[in-house]
Structures are given as C-alpha cells and as structure tokens.
Structure 1
Amino acid sequence: MTATTATTVTPVLRVAPATPAEAAAHFRASLAFHADVSDVAAALAAGGDPGFAVLDCRSTESWDQGHIPGAIHLPTALIPEQAAELLDKAVPVVTYCWGPGCNGATRAALALAELGYRVKEMLGGFEYWVREGFEFETWQGRERRAPDPLTAPVEGDCGC
C-alpha cells in the first residue's frame, strides 16, 4: 500500500473519509436498517420461528412470477389499510422488492415504520435471492436456479 501525499487528490479522496468513530456509527446504523439475502435465507432455512416476517411489497403479477417461500404479499400501496390484518407489530418485518435498482422495499419499509413496525430492508431483493440460488415459489410451484458465481461462492460460504 502506498501513502497518498498531500498534493495528490483523487476523486475518491476529494471528500475526506469519515473518522473511524463516525464510520463505525454509520455502518452500525446501516446494519440496523438492512438485512442480507444470505442471512435471511439462513434464518428461514434453520427451521422454527426466525423472529421476523418477510414481506414482498410488489404487485400481484410480480408475486406470481416468483417470491420467497413463506413471504407475506402486501403491495406497498396497500400497507396503510392492510398491514394490521397481516402483520404483528411485535414481530420485526423484512421487506423486499425486485432488486438493488428498485426502491420499492425502501418505500414499504418507510410505510411500515410510520405505522409503528420495526423493519429492515433486504438488500438485493428478489433478484439476488434468485441469483444466489435460493428456492422461490411461482404460481406453478417451487423453483431454484444455479447460483450466479458473481453473487455467491461456488463452494463454501463468502466469509463475510
């Protein structure tokens, strides 16, 4: 590793990095708001009560195309009127939408938080659930695709 001199200003360092304490606070907070696809899958696969509910906030057509087994289907627009019928405020909720290019899970998480639910957003959404090789359901039954080696290790675990 080479040291950066005071006269070298790269686009990366144009804005100075946060202090270690600021960075720790930021990343700790990020973990309070986000869940990883692999962690959600592992918790669901362990059997029993994972301690959270999984909520798919997409349309019915999207849900039918594929969803996480055991997820609750509640499109974002319907959260204010139907959340109380489907979700227990004592149970944290993990929201997901299509993928990292979609902010639907963020909007659903906001709607739930505003109603008093504890909530996390699943990073990567349904796209990364499928890309990492986890089983999903469609209106035709259960499916699983081979893991994409760019998103999941071919052997073992990722180590993170």
Structure 2
Amino acid sequence: MTRVAASPANPAAAAAHFRHLLSVETDPADLRADMEDGAGGFLVLDVRAPEHYAAGHIPGSISLSAKDINAESTRDLPRGDVLVTYCWGPGCNGADKAALKLAELGFTVKKLIGGFQTWKWDRHPIATGTDQDAR
C-alpha cells in the first residue's frame, strides 16, 4: 500500500504538475467569477444529453453533447475562445472526452472540475430550458 508520505514529487515536479492541471481545468468559483466580471474569451459547453441541459444548466452555456462533437458540429464555435466543458459531476468523464475531442480539433479547452453537480453544490445560479446564447 502506498502512503501519502511515500515517494513525494520534488517541489519542481509538483509545481510543473499543478501548473499543468491549472492550464486544463477550472473550478466553479473561478468560472463564476469570470462570468460575473464580464471576462470574455471563453465559452461554456454542457456536454450532457440535451434533456439534461434543458432540466438545468450553467447560465450562458450551450448544449453540445459529447457524442456529437466533430468537425461539422463545432464549425461555428469561436476558435479564439477557451472552451470550458462540463458534464454531470465528479463521477462522469464526459467533459474529459469532450475536451479531448475538441483539443484534437484544434480548440483550446479546459474542463470544469466537478461538473454541474459541483456547480449546484456550490449554490451557483442555474438556468433551465433550451434557449441558448447565440454566439
């Protein structure tokens, strides 16, 4: 059994690791702060099934199911923005799969840590319905 104190990374390796994580992940608090500050340059993608999006989603996000991501379905997405993907929650890897597909298509991406469930747990606002911000 490996213990916490066994073979820790040296500080430089740890710094590189966490710098990398921060380059590909964001959390609900940082995302909401950017939304409230009016920071531009990012688009939030709900990659769950459309019916889950309709039942509740992050305000301003657009629905694009992970299974439907391809060159055609992403043709109108902004190439200069960071695409932030999220799925249901910590036990779902749909956001990872979507981010991988998007990165392979040449998009800059980040994953929302904890997905929609963590967004809700943190008591951030939730929108319902199918209306999407036309970008």
Q: Normalized against structure 2, the TM-score is what?
A: 0.90
Deviation at 1:98, TM superposition (A): 0.5
Aligned-pair identity (%): 47
Would the alpha carbon gap of residues 140 and 60 (structure 1) be closer, same or farther in structure 2, given more than 3 Å must change?
A: closer
The code of the aligned residue for 2:78 comes to: D
Cα shift readout 1:24-78 (whole Å, capped 9, x = no counterpart): 100100100101110001111123x432110100101110110011101100111
Structure with bigger RCO (C-alpha 8 Å, 6+ apart): 2
Structure 2: distance between partners of 1:127 and 1:33: 19
Would the alpha carbon gap of residues 99 and 10 (structure 1) be closer, same or farther in structure 2, given more than 3 Å must change?
A: closer
Q: Does 1:61 align with 2:56?
A: no
Deviation at 1:13, TM superposition (A): 3.2
Contact 2:23 2:110 in 1 (8 A): yes
Number of aligned residue pairs: give it: 130
Cα shift readout 1:93-122 (whole Å, capped 9, x = no counterpart): 110001111000000000000000000000
Q: Normalized against structure 1, the TM-score is what?
A: 0.76
List aligned pairs for 1:6-155, cutoff 5 A.
11-14=3-6, 16-47=7-38, 49-80=39-70, 81-85=72-76, 87-139=77-129
Moved over 4 A (4+): none
Contact 2:99 2:109 in 1 (8 A): yes
Deviation at 1:10, TM superposition (A): 6.7
